[in-house]
């Protein structure tokens, strides 16, 4: 069973926008943490946006994407979204949604903690 299925992504020029969506199974959406990671060839997978599934919590954004990316969770549709605006060539990567438990009360930025993963969506930004 696929617990997280991604859609969206594609190619865009610098300054443009893209939206990623991640349809989640009931098991995945019941996780405490839902996070978007990205990975470029030769680099480690890094967390770019994270949110707790409990209400009234503040999302986390990595410094490179802060102010440009917005993570959101639509619980009615069991869907995690990532709106990406003002894209830059350095945003080019494969993007993965992930779901997992808290560690010591917090959502981790480490990919090893997450037990549900999407298949990945390619985002390419040209200058």
* pLDDT of 2: 84
pLDDT band of 74, cuts 50, 70, 90: very high
- What value, to the nearest 5°, has the Cα angle with vertex 114 and ends 113 and 115? 120
Mean pLDDT of 73-97: 97
CA distance 113 to 121: 21
pLDDT band of 107, cuts 50, 70, 90: very high
């Amino acid at each position: 069973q696929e617990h997280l299925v991604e859609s969206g992504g594609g190619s865009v020029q610098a300054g443009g926008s893209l939206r990623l969506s991640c349809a989640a199974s009931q098991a995945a959406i019941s996780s405490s943490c839902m996070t978007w990671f990205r990975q470029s060839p030769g680099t480690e997978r890094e967390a770019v946006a994270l949110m707790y599934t409990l209400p009234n919590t503040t999302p986390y954004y990595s410094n490179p994407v802060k102010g440009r990316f917005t993570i959101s969770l639509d619980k009615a549709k069991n869907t995690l979204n990532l709106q990406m605006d003002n894209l830059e060539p350095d945003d080019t990567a494969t993007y993965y949604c992930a779901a997992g438990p808290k560690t010591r009360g917090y959502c981790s930025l480490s990919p090893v903690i997450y037990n549900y993963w999407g298949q990945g969506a390619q985002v390419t930004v040209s200058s």
